[in-house]
Amino acid sequence: MSWPKLEPRKAALVARRDLRDATSELRLIAAMVALTLAIPLASGSGVRTLAAFGGGTAVVNRLALVGAFFVVFIPASFSLVLALESFVGERERTTLEVLLSTPLREAEIYAGKVAAVLAVSLTLCYGGLIVYCLVTFPGLGYFPLAILLALALSTICQVAAMVAGAVIISLNARTMRAANVMASFIILPMSVVLQAEAALILVGRAEFLWAFAVLMALLAVVFLRMGLAGFSREALLSREVGLRHPLQRALGAVRASFEHRPAFLQLLWMRREPILIAAAGFPIGALAGYLAGLTSAVPSGVVRPVLTSLVHSAGAGSAFADAVAIFSHNVLAFVLVAALAVLTAGLSGFFLTFAPGFILGFVAALSSWAFALSGILPNGLVEIPAAIIAGGLAIQIGAAAIHMDGRGSWSGRVLAAFADYVRALRWLVPALAVASLLEVFLG
């Protein structure tokens, strides 16, 4: 899908309109001032107090970085509230029809909404960061310029991803209450992302933060494309508040997704591209694992507990109990991969084949390829093809999730992809049972 055409001047009209609404209430202005001034001043003063009264240099430096992350993160969370309110709030204020009746292109309305939220959020984030730096670092003898620049860039990408995702929710929600509930699909993944970012800041390596910023930029681009593709005047105006019988409609949609689905072999041919991507994950993972073990980029102490737990779980009881344990572990992995496919845009399917390949390559680097391959034969001849098929179908679920359509058929496509995955389990689960028996009795 190509980016739709829009005139920046017209998008700016929508952005200015939303900015006036966001800054028209005294309570919102007070909250913004507190986010920009009060929290950075308090955090910076705390760091300076610790430095003045005997805090160790290393501790103070690390705490200064954590404080910078803290004062950037809190204003960034404010963007979620504004973005969720962008469209569904207009619906509840009965101003949505007026906005959609203007001669503006749909892309101009969407871009103006996103730009307004980004302008407020980034102003708060960078205003707070500047105030914090002015309070904290003068006279401290420590100024991590590279890390702060990487943090600033990652903040742009992170806020853009949150805003784009929240605007998509606002487009599809019928009420503000529903939008707040659906916001958990953004809050939970972003909480994991923020914990990862905090860990990278504590490590103190700017290059890791730059890589993190690139990943968040890709996620923001995906969300922005989804929102632009899924924004339709007709679909937005046709959503009525309080539609009746939601459970019956949901069950009907699930039932319809299983109708007229292709047979297993036909499904494999139809999904050959994502299956090939999943198949490539195994050799790529093996190469990455081999290089990681050979260069000690990943310490062996990190991977060895995983290998040890796998060995212990496979030899904890009788042969039948071991087979059941291996089988249940693999089935659980297949279920989790499908469940996480929407949230990870299909990356969980790629990881299903990448992870065992990585472990194989890592073991080969520590010993030999013959020894490593002996650990996955002969059960791998059945288990790996099953993982490739499941991974490919999970990648298809992710592809369906990130492909929006103005006609409003997103849920139908995602449910159909899930239906294909569930139907394929009728063949994949017996294959996993055979693989577990081969691993216990012939491995």
Q: Cα–Cα distance between 83 and 87 in angstroms, integer?
A: 8
User: What is the mean pLDDT of the segment spanning 407-420?
Assistant: 78
Confidence of residue 309 (pLDDT cuts 50, 70, 90): low
Given this model, what pLDDT does residue 242 score?
Answer: 47
Cis, bond preceding 378 (omega within 30 deg of 0): yes
Q: Cα–Cα distance between 442 and 378 in angstroms, integer?
A: 7
pLDDT in tens, 76-94: 777 787 888 888 888 888 8
Tokens of residue 176, six digits: 């503000």
Given this model, what pLDDT does residue 235 score?
Answer: 66
Contacts of 7 (CB under 8 A, 6+ apart): 105, 108
Q: Is the pTM of this model over 0.75?
A: no
Determine phi and psi for 330, rounding to 5 degrees: -70, -40
Element (H, E) at 93: none
Given this model, what pLDDT does residue 308 score?
Answer: 61
pLDDT in tens, 30-48: 777 777 788 888 888 888 8
Asked if 368 and 316 touch (Cβ cutoff 8 Å), the reply is no
Q: Is the pLDDT of residue 409 over 70?
A: no
Given this model, what pLDDT does residue 39 score?
Answer: 83
Sign of CA dihedral 19, 22, 26, 30: negative
DSSP 142: -
DSSP-based helix, strand, coil % in the chain, nearest 5:
80, 0, 20
Mean pLDDT of the chain: 81
| % the chain with pLDDT above 90 | 14
Q: Is the pLDDT of residue 264 over 70?
A: yes
Q: Is the pLDDT of residue 241 over 50?
A: no
pLDDT in tens, 153-202: 888 888 888 888 888 788 777 778 878 877 777 777 777 777 787 777 77
pLDDT in tens, 118-160: 888 888 888 888 988 888 888 777 788 888 888 888 888 888 8
Asked if 240 and 408 touch (Cβ cutoff 8 Å), the reply is no
**More confident site: 73 or 434:** 434
Q: Where are the beta strands (DSSP E) in 127-254?
A: none
Given this model, what pLDDT does residue 77 score?
Answer: 74
Q: Is the pLDDT of residue 243 over 60?
A: no
Q: Cα–Cα distance between 189 and 137 in angstroms, integer?
A: 32
> Please, what is the end-to-end C-alpha distance for the chain in angstroms?
48
Q: How many CB atoms lie within 10 A of CB 363?
A: 24
CA-based max dimension of the chain: 73
Given this model, what pLDDT does residue 395 score?
Answer: 92
User: What is the mean pLDDT of the segment spanning 307-317?
Assistant: 56
Q: Is the pLDDT of residue 17 over 70?
A: yes
